[in-house]
Chains A and B, each alone.
Chain A
Amino acid sequence: DIVMTQSPDSLAVSLGARATISCKSSQSVLYSSNNRNYLAWYQQKPGQPPKLLIYWASTRESGVPDRFSGSGSGTDFTLTISSLQAEDVAVYYCQQYYSTPPAFGPGTKVDIK
């Protein structure tokens, strides 16, 4: 099974500043035949279900603000919030969907400094 890790566990960022979250997979999630990374990012606010932000490691879901971006390949990935807004306070999860079980990372809590 592929194991996902995230760092940091939590971070506090000033409004308008950049937030960066790291995600690592225990095996590569890059599928060589189509050159796609099977990696997604989700945002979860308290009392709400997760919301898909990014898939294929860097493709933004429709309606997601462009301050959210994903990067990386193979086993190392990053979610960047370029200018943190108050509504971005949430827990962020990465997930691999390269193989079953489609594991989630443990989550990173983002707060306002």
Chain B
Amino acid sequence: QVQLVESGGGVVQPGRSLRLSCAVFGFAFSSYGMHWVRQAPGKGLEWVAVIAYDGSNKNYIDSVKGRFSISRDNSKNTLYLQMNSLRVEDTAVYYCAKVHQLWSGLGAFDIWGQGTMVTVSS
């Protein structure tokens, strides 16, 4: 069964760090670009970061550049998001999502995880 399972969310103080994981099941993880998308409480969807199928290319929304780092371990079928210097405005549900096209970094997101909540508060 194709599935993405996020973990690692929680409550953290401003300026601290958190590492999110997204475990992948049921498809050839190493063949697809992967993304992180977030949704602040009561708000819309905001794209955060992308990583190519082989990890060779990464990109971020401007507001997280220099603070967040996306990575993947294809041998463990796992995607990561390292979040440093967290701010109150980073509070959101974080989703990992799979691109529908083989080998492509950009594409429609056909599989989503259930999300993990990150709350940044003092």
Interface size class of A (residues with CB under 8 A): 20 to 34
Separation of A55 and B95 alpha carbons in the complex (Å): 19
Interface size class of B (residues with CB under 8 A): 10 to 19
State whether the Cβ of B85 lies closer than 8 Å to any Cβ in chain A.
no
Q: Identify whether the interface residues of A are mostly helix, strand, loop, or mixed.
A: loop
- Are B108 and A49 closer than 8 Å at their CB atoms? no
Chain A residues near B95 (CB-CB < 8 A): 49-50
- Are B50 and A55 closer than 8 Å at their CB atoms? no
State whether the Cβ of B25 lies closer than 8 Å to any Cβ in chain A.
no
- Are B112 and A40 closer than 8 Å at their CB atoms? no
Known: A49-B95, A103-B47. Is A55-B100 also a contact (CB below 8 A)?
yes
State whether the Cβ of A100 lies closer than 8 Å to any Cβ in chain B.
yes
Residues of B within 8 A of A (CB): 35, 44-47, 50, 59, 61, 95, 100, 106-110, 112-115
